[in-house]
A and B are shown apart, each in its own frame.
Chain A
């Protein structure tokens, strides 16, 4: 029996916009892929790039960081810092050989339940295309 590969995607959602947006999608009974493992953080600017690396190490096949639209940050400017940080991290990950599409970022506001559905669909699709992440997954070497 062959089963389709179901990726494991870790999503860091900001408390004020993206998490609320995902909530809205839920309460609106929107159907979207269930591959996401959501971790709520106070702001996308709070996400340490090491979290992303660590998620990939511990078994994520894709990572999403989602925050408020630029200008809408609850803390005024957190997402601006996050934007610079993750633009560079994405370049670095791809440079060492992580497939493009494993790391994603999105802006989803609290009212964008519909956009959230699209984002999840897109991120899951990309992770599925990239396949299981192997490069620096914590393998149990010598365990």
Chain B
């Protein structure tokens, strides 16, 4: 059972440790059904910590997002750990970062929170429009209870959970130094129905599906920045020489951008769905990512972010890999 008091207790202990720089968790947002990432460096701050169906943000992003500035001469680099709370999906990002050696194990302290699914804000806002006040939420059996200003309302979780949670196969963290409460039962399975639907169409139909969506992209790069797996120091999208993808916004460049982004996640995407959640123009990015996840699973029986000892998919090979299309 989710026990936030116990979580706060563990958080306080963790932050008090000398070898921990800060703890990253969630707190209630400033309005509506939002939660915000929360950086705690003193034990008192843990009081505001929450863990609820609102905690959508994948905090593993912040492990690689923090800027690495040069250490001034004569000073030692800060070698303290970063502690963070992870849901099942977030923990896969941590594992994949470890696999790719993007982070080192001794620098992170993972506090696992088995999760029963987080909300899709758009679905909830459609159900309860125009809620200005900050609304908290809790899991209760097969429902999510929202403490709205006019009283609590229970909603079946099928109706408000994010799509990724309805097909989630990893609700329990796959890596954790501490797991806060007992594991939850896996309720989801994934047969990539959405991907198969699109695959069934003709090339013209598929392009018809994507063209306007890509054209509407503003290239704000929120999908890249929020992605825990997009952590290149020098991103191909930012380079001017060579500039593979021009910065002008039109269908051709946007498509090249989305192909590059999706392809760079081939065999790496851990399906936390953050890219799709943050997109201001609602491009169904997971439909693109999940195509590659599906191919990676079918062709190479590989699942990223599950085994910390695995090798990255595209940095390894088997001599007998399928090659039926090669002439």
Contacts and interface: CB of A to CB of B under 8 A. Distances in A.
A119 interface: yes
B210 to A, nearest CB: 5
Contacts of B235: none
A88 B207 contact: no
Contacts, number: 118
Contact of B255 (A81, A88, A96, A105): A96
Given A88-B292, A97-B205, A97-B207, 8 more contacts: A70-B323, A84-B321, A88-B267, A98-B203, A106-B326, A135-B211, A136-B256, A139-B250
B317 A95 contact: no
A49 B263 contact: yes
Interface string A95-139: 111111000111100000000001100110000000000011111
B262 interface: yes
Interface stretch (B55-63, B157-165, B295-303): B295-303
Given A92-B262, A97-B210, A83 B321 contact: yes
A53 B314 contact: no
A106 B251 contact: no
Given A50-B244, A139-B250, A87 B325 contact: yes
B138 to A, nearest CB: 39
Given A70-B319, A70-B323, A135-B255, A92 B263 contact: yes
B198 interface: yes
Contact of B313 (A84, A89, A99, A119): A84
Contacts of B295: 87-88, 91
A104 B211 CA distance: 23
Nearest to A136: B255
Interface residues of A, number: 42
B314 A84 contact: yes
A66 to B, nearest CB: 8
A85 interface: yes
B154 interface: no
B260 interface: yes
Given A70-B323, A91-B291, A96 B210 contact: yes
- Size class of the contact patch on chain B: 35 or more
A100 B325 CA distance: 10
Given A84-B313, A106-B327, A136 B263 contact: no
Contacts of B251: 136, 139, 141
Contact of A89 (B255, B263, B315): B263
A88 B266 contact: yes
Nearest to A51: B244
A91 B206 contact: no
26 contacts: A49-B263, A50-B244, A50-B256, A57-B253, A70-B323, A77-B317, A80-B321, A81-B314, A83-B321, A85-B314, A87-B322, A88-B292, A91-B291, A92-B263, A92-B288, A95-B199, A96-B206, A96-B255, A96-B288, A97-B208, A97-B210, A97-B211, A98-B203, A135-B207, A136-B251, A136-B252
B279 interface: no
A90 interface: yes
A99 B263 CA distance: 18
B263 A88 contact: yes
Contact of A119 (B244, B288, B327): B327
Given A88-B295, A92-B266, A97 B204 contact: yes
Nearest to A115: B327
Contact of B252 (A89, A96, A106, A139): A139
Which of B255, B258, B299 has the most chain A CB atoms closer than 10 A to its own CB?
B255
B325 to A, nearest CB: 6
Interface string B232-261: 000010000000110000111101101110
